[in-house]
Copies of this chain bind each other. A is one copy, B any other.
Amino acid sequence: MPATIHDVAKLAGVGIGTVSSVLNNSRPVSEETRRKVLEAIEKLDFVPNPSGRRLSMGKTHTIAVIITYFTLASQFERLRGVMSVIAESDYDINLFAIETIPQRNKVFQTVPRRGRVDGLLIFSIHPTKEDLRRIRQQKIPVVLVEGYHPELSHIFLDDMAGARQAVEHLIGLGHQKIAYISDYLDDLFSSGFNRNRYMGYCQALEAAGLPVRPEYHRQGWHTRENGRQMALELLNLPDPPTAIFCFSDEFALGVLEAARDMNLRVPEDLSVVGYDDIELARFAQLTTVRQHLFESGVQGVELLFEAIENPDAPIKEIQLPTELVVRQTTAPPCR
């Protein structure tokens, strides 16, 4: 039903090659002919069929964005960064959200294919050996955002340093009993690389000569409600912590809720530090570790575009800073 390039050629009285030339500026066309072709295109409201184009060119002009933890506001921020670049480009974006292992498998099996997409942008996932094998075999450009792999381009965020900063801040305020609420360390997707924040936490404690108390570490699936639950558990301990550092702002907001539930004042009775600096951290006056979320999305696509442009270039690594943003949920302990 939609017009094809043949219809345009016929109406303009030229060959299909000429129409294609006009469309892509791929070879010189006389002014006169160009005008006729453009008129025909206009009249027929012709837009080239992308499948035909893709098939012929072997390029899809599409990138896949694969996202885990799609419930997190931080992922949304990153995605927004990506979209802001995409809108200016002539690329399309295919979105894949993965929440479960079967989904992860399906996506990694089917998506990283030449002929399917031109490149992959992967958020917060640590590729396995198997993934890497496939990527190599398909020679498909990949950029990890908030991920690390020595053989793949990535936007790297120094989680260990960020966590250390946060905990050092608490220690500096005089806290000795600092708990940590995290995602599962042996995470399904990231194969343990989110241990980094935990390690930063431990390092800071040890550097200050403080013990790492296992009962002060809780793990749970990434929701605010879980943050609240875990905080309640911590605060009901015989010897409760005076400060809680959280893997994400999402968790931290849950902790603030828990404090409210227990009529604890923040920061007088309890200090809370989050991670990410999502939009609403500012609103909640939350002390947190800022990641450049939007920016990481922007740089991620840009890196990917470069890699698509120039597939043989060496991998690139961009490190974005993390910085502690001190707001009003941290203070010296009262007791």
Interface string of A108-133 (1 = CB under 8 A from B): 01100111100000000000000000
Cβ-defined partner of A94 (8 Å) among B76, B87, B92, B139? B92
Q: How many residues of A contact B (CB 8 A)?
A: 47
Q: 28 A-B Cβ contacts within 8 A?
A: A45-B137, A47-B109, A47-B110, A47-B116, A49-B116, A50-B115, A51-B51, A52-B55, A55-B55, A62-B94, A73-B73, A73-B76, A76-B76, A83-B95, A84-B97, A86-B97, A87-B97, A87-B98, A87-B99, A92-B94, A93-B95, A94-B94, A95-B95, A224-B279, A224-B283, A280-B283, A283-B284, A284-B284
Is A149 positioned at the interface, with any CB of B under 8 Å from its CB? Answer: no
Distance in angstroms from A47 CB to nearest chain B CB is: 6
Residue on B nearest A284 in the bound complex, by CB: B283
Is A193 positioned at the interface, with any CB of B under 8 Å from its CB? Answer: no
Distance in angstroms from A50 CB to nearest chain B CB is: 6
Max chain B Cβ within 10 angstroms of own Cβ: one of A51, A97, A280: A51
A202: chain B residues at CB < 8 Å are: none
Binding site for B on A (CB under 8 A): 1-2, 45, 47, 49-52, 54-55, 60, 62, 70-71, 73, 76, 80, 83-84, 86-87, 92-95, 97-99, 103, 109-110, 113-116, 134, 137-139, 224, 253, 256-257, 279-280, 283-284
Distance in angstroms from A42 CB to nearest chain B CB is: 12
A109: chain B residues at CB < 8 Å are: 47
Is the Cβ of A70 less than 8 Å from the Cβ of B83? yes
Report copies per complex.
2
Cβ-defined partner of A253 (8 Å) among B70, B83, B280? B280
Is the Cβ of A80 less than 8 Å from the Cβ of B73? no
Bound: A50/B116 CA distance, A = 6
Cβ-defined partner of A47 (8 Å) among B97, B113, B256? B113
- Closest 3 A-B residue pairs measured CB to CB? A51-B54, A49-B115, A83-B97
Bound: A54/B116 CA distance, A = 11
Given A47-B109, A224-B283, 20 more A-B residue pairs with CB atoms under 8 Å apart are A1-B114, A1-B139, A2-B113, A45-B134, A47-B116, A50-B115, A50-B116, A51-B54, A51-B115, A62-B94, A73-B73, A76-B76, A86-B97, A87-B99, A94-B94, A95-B95, A253-B280, A280-B280, A280-B283, A284-B284
Residue on B nearest A62 in the bound complex, by CB: B94
